[in-house]
């Protein structure tokens, strides 16, 4: 099944094979439903740096990332920035649409050229009512997200920055990594400032910790990409 996304995206975004037509979540829908859903879904094409939504916006829509990468971050009262997660092709963004809050608690900003499909709450609710198995799949997805966030909480609780940074890198590598002969490679560049936002530490402290991790052989830096040689991918 050819997806509308491909026509819209053009050739500058490498699309994931994950789409409404073939996403595992929707695999038991009949073709009429799929057609209806994929026509309703609001496709958006975003450039690097563009935001999908900002913290505080009313949360009425949930997005499937078709291609690219999206950073979920938040600015705290004291002005410090915190990155909560980085989502990639095949992931959902805005899953808290279902919660009571009513607004997005974070901002979603594209790290690369990105393509998304958006769905409204009512669209999703209808879908789940009609196809309970889709509900089960979403439950599984949300459950995985909870596990991941639990890991994140654990990482941040580690006092020592070097250890904390390594845990953060491991988490990122597990989500965005590819196995190579040298180890797990994180598929996109991260500046020390980015890592600071992910780790909750000062940029300069990250530089120090990176130096120590390199020296300890726990990370390798190869043309802007990070490799974790001692990590096994799940």
Partner DNA sequence: AATATTCTGTAGTAGCTGTTACAATATTAA
Partner DNA sequence: TTAATATTGTAACAGCTACTACAGAATATT
Nearest to 66 by CA among 13, 107, 27, 29: 13
Q: What is the CA radius of gyration of the chain?
A: 19
Nearest residue (CB) to DNA, 60 versus 205: 205
158 interacts with a copy of itself by CB under 8 A: yes
CB-nearer residue toward DNA: 147 or 160: 160
Q: Work out whether strand 184-186 and strand 225-228 pair parallel, antiparallel, or are unpaired.
A: antiparallel
Length of the chain: 234
Q: Which of 208, 220, 225, 229 binds DNA (CB under 7 A)?
A: 208
Looking at 12, 125, 193, 222, which residue binds a copy of itself (CB under 8 A)? 125
Binding site partner of 93, from a copy of itself, DNA, none, Cβ cut-off 5-8 A by kind: none
* Binder of DNA out of 33, 95, 202, 225 (CB under 7 A): 202
Record the tokens describing residue 195, joined without a space.
């890592």
Figure out which of the listed residues 20, 37, 93, 138 binds a copy of itself, where binding follows CB under 8 A: 138
Paired tokens of 206: 């990250």
Q: Are strands 92-93 and 51-53 parallel, antiparallel or unpaired?
A: unpaired
φ, ψ for residue 225 (rounded to 5)? -105, 145
Q: Is 192 in the site for DNA (CB under 7 A)?
A: yes
Binding site for DNA (CB under 7 A): 159-162, 191-193, 200-205, 207-211, 223-224
């Amino acid at each position: 099944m050819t997806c509308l996304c491909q026509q819209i995206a053009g050739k500058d975004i490498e699309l994931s094979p994950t789409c409404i037509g073939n996403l595992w979540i929707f695999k038991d829908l009949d073709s009429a439903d799929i057609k209806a859903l994929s026509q309703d879904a609001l496709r958006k094409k975003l450039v690097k740096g563009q935001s999908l939504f900002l913290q505080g916006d009313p949360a009425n829509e949930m997005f499937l990332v078709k291609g690219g990468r999206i950073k979920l971050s938040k600015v705290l009262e004291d002005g410090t920035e915190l990155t909560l997660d980085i989502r990639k092709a095949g992931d959902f963004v805005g899953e808290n649409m279902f919660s009571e809050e009513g607004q997005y608690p974070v901002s979603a900003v594209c790290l690369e050229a990105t393509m998304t499909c958006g769905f409204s709450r009512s669209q999703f609710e209808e879908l789940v009512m009609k196809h309970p198995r889709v509900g089960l799949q979403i439950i599984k997805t949300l459950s995985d997200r909870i596990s991941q966030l639990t890991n994140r909480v654990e990482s941040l609780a580690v006092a020592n920055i070097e250890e904390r940074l390594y845990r953060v890198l491991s988490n990122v590598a597990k989500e965005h990594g590819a196995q190579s002969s040298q180890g797990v490679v994180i598929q996109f560049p991260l500046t020390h400032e980015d890592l600071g936002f992910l780790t909750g530490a000062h940029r300069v402290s990250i530089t120090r910790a990176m130096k120590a991790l390199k020296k300890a052989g726990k990370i390798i830096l190869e043309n802007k990409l990070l490799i974790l040689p001692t990590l096994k991918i799940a």
